[in-house]
Structure 1
Amino acid sequence: MGKKVIYIAGLGLIGGSLALGIKRGHPDYTVLGYNRSDKSRIIALERGLVDEATDDFAAFAPLADIIILAVPIKQTIVFLKTLSQLDLKDNVIITDAGSTKLEIVAAAEKYLMDKSVQFVGSHPMAGSHKSGAVAADGHLFENAYYIFTPSKLTKKSTIATLKDLLSGLQARFIEIEAAEHDRVTSQVSHFPHILSASLMEQAGEYAGEHDMTNRFAAGGFRDMTRIAESEPGMWTSILLTNKEAVLERISDFKQRLDRVAQLLSQDDEEAIWNYFAQARQTRKEMEIHKRGGVESFFDIFVDVPDEEDVILEILELLRGTSLVNIHINEENREDISGILQISFKNAKDLDHARKVITDNTDYNVFIE
């Protein structure tokens, strides 16, 4: 398609990263941005995320060929209503970046049905603990799922046009119905956040009577509760816009916990063993290890001694390689070694890391 004007409402981590990806794939496009806060607008302009920015959402909307709503879910619905009252370009494409889809698609069909517009729901399944325009990352969506949920306002060309627009993201595009999207994400994303927060609530209260709880909270507990640090407002909105699916998952899980409790009460060793064995096998068969989604990276593990500058030594070997995350596992071990876990976005960087660390150190390197 020819030169286009793209309008991104919301210049935080997601919106800013989308802007970088669009500019990488289409440097000739004009990218306009909206953000309520002065700080994010200034940063977005300084970093070149957008060509112009405003704090008036309605100001740039009539200029756009494609509008991306990268704002919280409730604000997305408000903006859809606002767009229905504006004089937009004929056949403009409107999409969003919300984590739940059914209510957003329903709102678009409600407010925009009589307009000459195209709408498709979107969910880029990537994120970070960082936020704001300063955290924008042009590589954020590489190999992550970018989900489209068609609506009654989606034409045959709508998704193809967006795939072309977003080609610089190097994401994995997929289409799914909005209702099914919300059911699936209730299981693999929304409900796990409830579990994580509940574990932290339980452990926090338990630590009041057993003060070693906080000291021993490493390893598996740390990994299971990392997402409890997520932004509360966002997750409140997500749960309330996917209430029925999440409540169903909670009810199902209660029954599973009751079943495990019964097995323990009955001292049913064989059934308990089968319970863990089945879970282990199910996890191996899932796409968690095959770049199946947002949190799925390529991980390398290095046995490292508890000595000064060891981590700096390894990071120096990896200079120029794009890292996703690093941390030490088994932080409460009493022996001399820890396990350094380094995450990469692709297999090429992982293979490079394994080679340079193996060739230049005597540390044990392994991949799960």
Structure 2
Amino acid sequence: MSKTIYIAGLGLIGGSLALAIRKAHPTYRILGYNRPEKSQQIARERGMVNDLTDDFASFAPLADIIILAVPIKQTILFLKELAQLDLKKGVIITDVGSTKQEIVAVAEVCFANREIDFIGGHPMAGSHKSGAIAADVSLFENAYYIFTPTQFTQERALTSLKDLFKGTGARYIEVAADEHDRVTSQISHFPHILATSLMLQTGDYAESHEHTKYFTAGGFRDMTRIAESEPDLWTSILLSNSRAVLDRIEEFKERLDEVAQLIFQKNEPAIWKFFNQGRAMRQAMEIHKKGGVDSFYDLFVEVPDEEDVVLKILELLRGISLVNLHINEENREDSHGVLQLTFKNAQDLATAEVIIKNNTDYHITIT
């Protein structure tokens, strides 16, 4: 049976969901809401939707399933607007927000006396790119897609969403909204505060120690990469999950004080234990498996400082899709640099590793 799907927001996430739905359900009618004309043009050119509007309320009554792929504040405003509209009986509404408790609470109030099923959603995948132009049908492949049902959600609604999104190739998991926000405060929201704080501290330090900006190596780069994230997005995330994030900050202050005390005491065994415990915990976690916010795979190749060496590798990898390429050649005492190749999935990474090993003698590291 064909259905009508309405996606509000056709950026990276909404656009990628549209492509995945189109892939798995080619007969479904997909309607889209987007205001920028450029995004509308891209959505039409890429066949994301059957029809588009810049008036959110106009398509909502036609939909069997409504997906809110807009910022958190806008999601809440749209939920309140949907509560006032004459929607289809049994319509399913979901969102893609990075925090869930506030959104679920609003939905429970708005739809308490309506034949509407709301299910909070959070596809944990992303990209350094944004907008409709960056939409990718395989963006969610093997990533966690988290559902946070409300107290009124019916099982048939959850089943319908899982079927709708089967083209994403994501791994579904159900979590209570409050637990979702507690967990993501630790592994997603708080790390962005750390990365930005470290970047700002380093920038201030560089004013009186000019070599700082030249000596930043791989560890610093990896720790601060997410400091380039979009400010509007992360401001709204922190403010909508403030209690959990503040708890993480207070706890981390205590941990820093403990480490400072160990260093002050020159407690070598305790310092060694500190690092060893961190290493062991990281090795035990699923950090290297796809499922986090940035679901990419990196391969590092140590290459000599020779003409056309990068072109040589790219030629070897012709036909394999690269997400990003970066040359890390600073701060090295030898004649080699490090070529960082970022792939979309594990299969592309594995293929690239075999090709480079079979055709060169370059040292390869995988993260």
Q: Does 1:46 align with 2:41?
A: no
**1: CA distance between counterparts of 2:186 and 2:201?**
21
**1: CA distance between counterparts of 2:46 and 2:125?**
21
Residue aligning to 1:276: 275
Give the deviation of 1:308 after TM superposition.
2.4
Matched position secondary structure for 1:159? helix
**Given residue 43 of structure 2, which amino acid in structure 1 is its aligned partner?**
A
Q: Assess if the C-alpha contact under 8 Å between 2:196 and 2:224 holds in 1.
A: yes
TM-score relative to the length of structure 1: 0.96
**Given residue 29 of structure 1, which amino acid in structure 2 is its aligned partner?**
Y
Structure 2 counterparts to residues 98-247 of structure 1, below 5 A:
98-247=97-246
**Residues 54/81 of structure 1: CA separation in 2 closer, same or farther (3 Å cut):** same
Q: Assess if the C-alpha contact under 8 Å between 1:74 and 1:237 holds in 2.
A: yes
Q: Does 1:354 align with 2:357?
A: no
Q: Assess if the C-alpha contact under 8 Å between 1:95 and 1:120 holds in 2.
A: yes
**Given residue 327 of structure 1, which amino acid in structure 2 is its aligned partner?**
H
Give the deviation of 1:329 after TM superposition.
4.1
Deviations 1:294-349 (A, max 9, x none): 33544333221122221221122112223333333463213111222323343332
Can you give the 5+ residue segments of structure 2 that lack an aligned partner in the other structure?
none
**2: CA distance between counterparts of 1:229 and 1:299?**
18
Q: Assess if the C-alpha contact under 8 Å between 1:143 and 1:345 holds in 2.
A: no
Residue aligning to 1:88: 87
Give the deviation of 1:276 after TM superposition.
0.6
Deviations 1:260-296 (A, max 9, x none): 1101111111111111111111100010023342335
**1: CA distance between counterparts of 2:41 and 2:366?**
42
**2: CA distance between counterparts of 1:135 and 1:67?**
22
Matched position secondary structure for 1:148? strand
Residue aligning to 1:300: 299
Q: Assess if the C-alpha contact under 8 Å between 1:61 and 1:83 holds in 2.
A: yes
Deviations 1:58-102 (A, max 9, x none): 000000010000000010000000000111011000000000000
Q: Does 1:25 align with 2:24?
A: yes
Give the deviation of 1:356 after TM superposition.
1.1
Q: Assess if the C-alpha contact under 8 Å between 2:127 and 2:294 holds in 1.
A: no
Matched position secondary structure for 1:8? strand
**Given residue 218 of structure 1, which amino acid in structure 2 is its aligned partner?**
A
TM-score relative to the length of structure 2: 0.97
Matched position secondary structure for 1:334? coil
Bigger Cα displacement from structure 2, 349-358 vs 271-280 = 349-358
Q: Assess if the C-alpha contact under 8 Å between 1:10 and 1:35 holds in 2.
A: yes
Bigger Cα displacement from structure 2, 351-360 vs 270-279 = 351-360
**2: CA distance between counterparts of 1:295 and 1:288?**
11
Can you give the 5+ residue segments of structure 1 that lack an aligned partner in the other structure?
none
Structure 2 counterparts to residues 334-349 of structure 1, below 5 A:
334-349=333-348
Q: Assess if the C-alpha contact under 8 Å between 1:16 and 1:133 holds in 2.
A: yes
**Given residue 52 of structure 1, which amino acid in structure 2 is its aligned partner?**
D
Q: Assess if the C-alpha contact under 8 Å between 1:219 and 1:330 holds in 2.
A: no
Deviations 1:104-155 (A, max 9, x none): 0001001111111111000011111211111111111111111000102311
**2: CA distance between counterparts of 1:296 and 1:252?**
28
Deviations 1:26-64 (A, max 9, x none): 111111100122221122112211111111000000000
Matched position secondary structure for 2:208? coil
Residue aligning to 1:77: 76
Q: Does 1:321 align with 2:320?
A: yes
Residue aligning to 1:288: 287
Residue aligning to 2:66: 67
Give the deviation of 1:192 after TM superposition.
0.2
**Given residue 149 of structure 1, which amino acid in structure 2 is its aligned partner?**
T
Matched position secondary structure for 1:45? helix
Give the deviation of 1:179 after TM superposition.
0.4
**Given residue 306 of structure 1, which amino acid in structure 2 is its aligned partner?**
D
Aligned residues: 367
Structure 1 stretches of at least 4 aligned residues deviating more than 4 Å after TM superposition: none
Q: Assess if the C-alpha contact under 8 Å between 1:219 and 1:331 holds in 2.
A: no
**Given residue 253 of structure 1, which amino acid in structure 2 is its aligned partner?**
F
**1: CA distance between counterparts of 2:190 and 2:353?**
35
**2: CA distance between counterparts of 1:328 and 1:273?**
33
